[in-house]
A and B are shown apart, each in its own frame.
Chain A
Amino acid sequence: MSSTGRIVTVYGNMVTAEVEGTVRQNAVAYCQRSDGVRLMSEIIRIRGKLADMQVFELTRGLKVGDPVEITEELLSLELGPGLIGMVYDGLQNPLPEMAAQVGKFLEPGHYLKALDRKRDWDFTPLVAPGTVLTAAENLGKVKENIFDHFIMAPFTLNGEWKVKSIAPAGKYKVDKEIAVLEKDGQTVSVNMIQRWPVRIPLGIYRERLLPTQTMVTKQRIIDTFFPIMLGGTYCIPGPFGAGKTVLQQITSRHAEIDLVIVAACGERAGEVVETLREFPHLKDPRTGKTLIERTIIICNTSSMPVAARESSVYTAITLGEYYRQVGLNVLLLADSTSRWAQALREMSGRLEEIPGEEAFPAYLESSIARFYERGGIVELKDGRKASLTVGGTVSPAGGNFEEPVTQGTLKVVGAFLGLSYARSYARRFPAIDPLESWSKYAGVIAHEKVAWAHGFLKRGKSIYEMMQVVGEEGTSIDDFVIYLKSEFLDNVYLQQNSFDEVDAACPVDRQQHLFEMVTNVLKHKFEITDKARARDLFFTLTEQFRDWNYSPWQSDQMKTAENAIKATMSSKEAAHA
């Protein structure tokens, strides 16, 4: 039963209504403007007869006394085949469809169905009448792009139900009945669409597992030094201009994963447009299909209404959970979680809640924790493993990592890829700070070897700092060579040119090969006593390794580069002690 109310206050995107009847917290409501346009809202606080709502649209033109219709349903998504490749706003309205129907601008009050009702899906039943099953067990499957999209028993089922009837193989639309289930004389009709409230985690599985498999991003500094695992969580904090979004984009292109969900939350529209316009033309080397066929874009950019920004990260993670339920390995990239936190802050301010640090609400940390905890690798009811990996960028005010959103995030993630001003100013990309970042996960190269190489970076840094005080002439040649080695490692391994076709993505075997070659240089005892000549030698090596990095795998060009490196290493200059 829905209730009705009347608006009593309008202030920014917050509207208060006086309500007759029952109201459910987080239920969807519609505020009706005098010209008939209905604005979607969500109940966020109830005080006696007054219900405070955040409105997902511009509130311009709403008046005191305008009617409010309050539904029973919590803010929910439509889940089913046909989500992949779509571009949705934070409330799951398909944006291209919206443009076709409404025009250039996002006029308030238009809501469209998320799933295409006209498309036919090739359905194959997987159960026979009489089968007993529980929530989220497979009834059948359809082919969505290259994936088997399993059609499951409703997630909301209680206990064991028996299949009364199941549709034969054939073409069906998403809203067509494909099965009837029964229990104690009750029956439910099942089609391919499920609905699930975004604020409640969706996870119906046997057990949650420990992440054990590296998620390859083809970025050397990540896969080797600060790896991420399937089902893990990580964050990328960094000041503006340090390359957070570029790193997210590179990951969305090159990560070895089934499905990528890009949540552009309160960021620039231009960045989404880049993904939107380029992914249909870029090939995924793993499948040979275009990247858009493994991507869902949730787009609530900074000029779109702020309340929908708050819900958009939940929309994104619910979609991720759904495809994990289907059986895929999903990567969610949320850019940026700080904008989401700011949306929380804006609303909290309007609700006149007592503010915490930097005016963020007191529940900020627990909200962040709950969000990241929705990721994870699980064993589904049929024994398959599926995962949801969550990576969020953080945009700390003033680039200061001490602020509440960064600190709240660091507590709950498994890897921290901190971007630094200094590195991006020196054009060292990806600008992940190798001395500040950490990861609790295992990467593509054995941990001891990585730790040994990482030691050079640490020593190089302290020698460099020492040199700032005592000068080059006050530094011993041994220390100087260690410094040059650390710079060399940085230049040819950590840095990667994302605009070079070859260097942009470095697969695992290539990383392992390069790591061996770099290790040989790091291990080498150079006999040089002259600093200028040492610098010169490392210039040469760096240039030759760069040429190697730009050469296609196992091409003649690569062999030439490798021979050049060998020649340098066996030259008189580089002679052994």
Chain B
Amino acid sequence: MRKFYTKIDNIAGNVATLKATGVGYEELALVEGSWGKSLAQVIRVNGDNVSLQVFAGTRGVSTGDRVSFTGHSMRFSFSDDLFGRVFSGGGEARDNRGELTDNLIEVGGPAVNPAIRLMPHRMIPTNIPMIDVFNTLVEGQKLPIFSIPGEPYNELLARIALQAEADVIIFGGMGLKYDEYLFFKNRLEEGGAMNRSIMFIHTASDPVVECLQTPDIALTVAEQFAIKGKRVLVLLTDMTNFANALKEISITMEQIPSNRGYPGDLYSQLASRYEKAVVFEEGGSITLMAVTTMPGDDVTHPVPDNTGYITEGQFYLKGGVIDPFGSLSRLKQQVNGKTRDDHRAIMDGCIQLYAKCRETREKRAMGFEMSDWDNKLLKYGESFEKQIMSFSANIGLFDALQQCWNILAEHFEPRETGIRSNLCDQFWPKK
């Protein structure tokens, strides 16, 4: 017989506290009232005081509402029926097709034993030269896209999703504008990928607590597919909204904030999600790409800062292009030694020259005389931006490498490039 409680003592923020016994930490509860019903999770037990985080928010919740405990933690149905479906951040169907109730799995379980992980070793081609050549994406990698609001980060995410040839695409939207949700849905449908996609959508108008659930449910489902040998691509946008939801709850719970109001465990909270990225021995994998918008374009803001320490690099989207200096794929070394002999040399050489070009531009802006060398650098920079960096460049890796050699040969002598002489001998375009 399920036991009902009908007296809530405190309601503050999205947290309701009541007296109950025999309740487990992180157990799921159901709150029902005249306003409707909502799931809630136990976030503290202190004697017989139980604090509940109410998923739908506490607006309208009455102290006389009925609370019952389910005896288990958050669960979600897992099967192939998920494909093509759209759910809310809390896991309820939002596509007018029925709820799924069979094969329930626990959401947010323990971490994968590091000893059974494999090193990521397969390149994911994207046909974006700034990624393929300079910061190669690798299967099993976790990589955020840092940008300010207004940049085309969602387009980038969608382009990667369609290009990456994953078995399963799982999309987790947090605090999305409704149009952004429709944009993704349309792109996946147009690209013919909806039948291998699953969407978990928390929009800006949905309750904040559901924002916290979104990545957990999305990643739990991803993990199940990966265990079954599927190559899963998880796209999350926007993790800054997730972090802000964490901040909201922790302040309500009167935790001492550490930095700009964020809780002291922000790093651990983000890490436990990002670390779901994995390659299993049996072939399954989770690759995780997540948008992190940077308030005020400030990379030292706690959210991008902590994220950068967790993830295996980052793509900086700035002025509509993937910035070659801030961007980094830490795992590129795992794959770019096996593509072509000149890959690494081009990667380093072109960027070093482009860095010098930027310095020269600063000099020019200050009105200094340009030497021959400076002029070479300036012209090189223009070609490089137009042919390689531009977001419209859509060419495969080898074509992109060739393009880089052509640009170098157009502007420099081999020894000016800093590229090893034996590679120049081999690849320098013959005039």
User: What is A's interface to B at a CB cutoff of 8 Å?
Assistant: 8-12, 34, 58-65, 87, 95-96, 98-99, 102-108, 239-241, 266, 268-270, 272-274, 276-278, 299, 301-304, 306, 339, 342, 345-346, 349, 352, 355, 358-360, 395, 397-400, 425-427, 468-469, 471-473, 499, 531-532, 535, 539-540, 542-543, 546-547, 550
**Contact code string B204-216 (vs A, CB < 8 Å = 1, else 0):** 0000000000000
Across-interface contacts of B23 in A (CB, < 8 A): 63-64
Report the minimum CB–CB distance from A427 to chain B (whole Å): 6
Is the CB–CB distance between A302 and B268 below 8 Å? yes
Asked whether A359 and B111 contact (CB < 8 A) given A8-B47, A64-B48, A346-B264, the answer is no
Q: Which residue of A lies closest to B300 (CB)?
A: A398
Across-interface contacts of A346 in B (CB, < 8 A): 264-265, 268
Complex Cα spacing A426 to B352, Å:
6
B114 at the interface (CB under 8 A from A): yes
15 contacts between A and B (CB under 8 A): A11-B46, A59-B25, A64-B23, A102-B113, A346-B265, A359-B256, A397-B302, A425-B326, A427-B348, A427-B352, A472-B371, A499-B337, A539-B415, A540-B415, A547-B421
Per a CB cutoff under 8 Å, which of B112, B259, B352, B421 touches A359? B259
B272 at the interface (CB under 8 A from A): yes
Is the CB–CB distance between B264 and A342 below 8 Å? yes
Is the CB–CB distance between B305 and A240 below 8 Å? yes
**Contact code string B321-356 (vs A, CB < 8 Å = 1, else 0):** 000011010110100010000001000100110010
Report the minimum CB–CB distance from A169 to chain B (whole Å): 35
Is the CB–CB distance between A397 and B47 below 8 Å? no
> Which residues of B, 401-423, contact A by the 8 Å Cβ criterion?
415-416, 418, 420-421
Report the minimum CB–CB distance from B200 to chain A (whole Å): 20
Asked whether A269 and B256 contact (CB < 8 A) given A105-B110, A106-B111, A532-B371, the answer is no
Report the minimum CB–CB distance from B325 to chain A (whole Å): 5
Per a CB cutoff under 8 Å, which of A99, A352, A542 touches B113? A99
B363 at the interface (CB under 8 A from A): yes
Report the minimum CB–CB distance from A31 to chain B (whole Å): 10
Is the CB–CB distance between A10 and B44 below 8 Å? yes
Is the CB–CB distance between B272 and A546 below 8 Å? no
B313 at the interface (CB under 8 A from A): yes
Per a CB cutoff under 8 Å, which of A345, A398, A427 touches B351? A427
Across-interface contacts of B120 in A (CB, < 8 A): 270
Asked whether A104 and B116 contact (CB < 8 A) given A302-B271, A550-B420, the answer is yes
Is the CB–CB distance between A63 and B22 below 8 Å? yes
Asked whether A349 and B264 contact (CB < 8 A) given A359-B257, A539-B416, the answer is yes
Per a CB cutoff under 8 Å, which of A60, A65, A104 touches B73? A60
Is the CB–CB distance between B272 and A303 below 8 Å? yes
Is the CB–CB distance between A106 and B112 below 8 Å? yes
B392 at the interface (CB under 8 A from A): no
Complex Cα spacing A63 to B24, Å:
4
**Residue tally, chain B, CB below 8 Å to A:** 80
B255 at the interface (CB under 8 A from A): yes
Complex Cα spacing A172 to B2, Å:
58
Per a CB cutoff under 8 Å, which of A61, A95, A103, A532 touches B26? A61
Q: Which residue of B lies closest to A300 (CB)?
A: B114
Per a CB cutoff under 8 Å, which of A239, A499, A532, A539 touches B372? A532
> Which residues of B, 191-220, contact A by the 8 Å Cβ criterion?
none
Complex Cα spacing A471 to B113, Å:
57
Across-interface contacts of A240 in B (CB, < 8 A): 305, 308-309
Across-interface contacts of B268 in A (CB, < 8 A): 266, 302, 306, 342, 346
Complex Cα spacing A572 to B369, Å:
28
Complex Cα spacing A61 to B263, Å:
23
Complex Cα spacing A304 to B366, Å:
52
Number of A-B residue pairs with CB-CB distance less than 8 Å in the complex they form: 208
B312 at the interface (CB under 8 A from A): yes
Report the minimum CB–CB distance from A477 to chain B (whole Å): 13
Asked whether A543 and B111 contact (CB < 8 A) given A9-B46, A61-B24, A240-B308, the answer is no
Complex Cα spacing A535 to B355, Å:
17
Asked whether A303 and B369 contact (CB < 8 A) given A105-B112, A277-B119, the answer is no
B98 at the interface (CB under 8 A from A): no
A-B CB proximity, top 4 nearest: A398-B300, A302-B271, A471-B368, A303-B275
Per a CB cutoff under 8 Å, which of A8, A58, A299, A427 touches B110? A58
A241-B330, A473-B369 given; 4 more Cβ-contact pairs under 8 Å: A34-B24, A104-B280, A240-B305, A543-B415
Across-interface contacts of B296 in A (CB, < 8 A): none
Complex Cα spacing A268 to B110, Å:
16
B267 at the interface (CB under 8 A from A): yes
Complex Cα spacing A469 to B418, Å:
27
Complex Cα spacing A12 to B250, Å:
12
Q: Which residue of B lies closest to A472 (CB)?
A: B371
Is the CB–CB distance between A345 and B258 below 8 Å? yes
Is the CB–CB distance between A273 and B26 below 8 Å? no
Asked whether A241 and B113 contact (CB < 8 A) given A10-B25, A60-B25, A63-B23, the answer is no
Complex Cα spacing A262 to B120, Å:
21
Report the minimum CB–CB distance from A41 to chain B (whole Å): 13
B362 at the interface (CB under 8 A from A): yes
Complex Cα spacing A471 to B199, Å:
55
B109 at the interface (CB under 8 A from A): yes
**Contact code string B365-394 (vs A, CB < 8 Å = 1, else 0):** 010110111000000000000000000000
Per a CB cutoff under 8 Å, which of B26, B48, B310 touches A302? B310
Q: Which residue of B lies closest to A469 (CB)?
A: B366
B103 at the interface (CB under 8 A from A): no
Complex Cα spacing A289 to B299, Å:
44
B40 at the interface (CB under 8 A from A): no
Complex Cα spacing A8 to B313, Å:
43
Across-interface contacts of A499 in B (CB, < 8 A): 333, 337, 344
Is the CB–CB distance between A273 and B264 below 8 Å? no
Report the minimum CB–CB distance from A59 to chain B (whole Å): 5
Is the CB–CB distance between A60 and B280 below 8 Å? no
Asked whether A241 and B308 contact (CB < 8 A) given A63-B45, A277-B118, the answer is yes
Report the minimum CB–CB distance from B218 to chain A (whole Å): 16
Across-interface contacts of B310 in A (CB, < 8 A): 268, 302
B115 at the interface (CB under 8 A from A): yes
Complex Cα spacing A276 to B116, Å:
10
Complex Cα spacing A108 to B265, Å:
20
**Contact code string B36-61 (vs A, CB < 8 Å = 1, else 0):** 00000000111110000000000000
Is the CB–CB distance between A241 and B119 below 8 Å? no
